[in-house]
Structure 1
Amino acid sequence: MKVYRFLTGPDDSSFCHRVTDALNKGWELHGSPSHTFNAAENKLYCGQAVVKTVHGKEYDPSIKLGEQ
């Protein structure tokens, strides 16, 4: 089974640490990162899709993707 997550967060080191953590848990980058600016907060936000192949499981909408 292949699972997909889209990580988001403010453009700071905490976002980079979340992506790094996912990569070290076997997730792979999927596509390019994205950025958006929230004018109300005057902040830049990032997003990065990641995918992972999980063997021996079938998809169920109740699974917690971050725990795979």
Structure 2
Amino acid sequence: MFNFPQSCQVELVNAKEHKYFLAILQDSTVDRAHRTLAAFVLAGIVDNYPPGQEAALQVSEPRPHRTTAGR
């Protein structure tokens, strides 16, 4: 398995590049090969790197829906 150097993980998270790879994964119009590569890069970003894990989770968590019930 390929091992991402931590310096690459730090640089990708600091530049917020993980957002690009998450967007590729979520876009069903992107071909499977490119989505597979995006998943591979994201795996490298989050592997044994808590700041990368946190950054990926923050982007991928759904936002709560606002309701006007009770107003």
- Give TM-score, length-normalised by structure 1: 0.28
Q: Which has the higher helix share?
A: 2
**Larger RCO (CA under 8 A, 6+ residues apart):** 1
Q: Which has the higher strand share?
A: 1
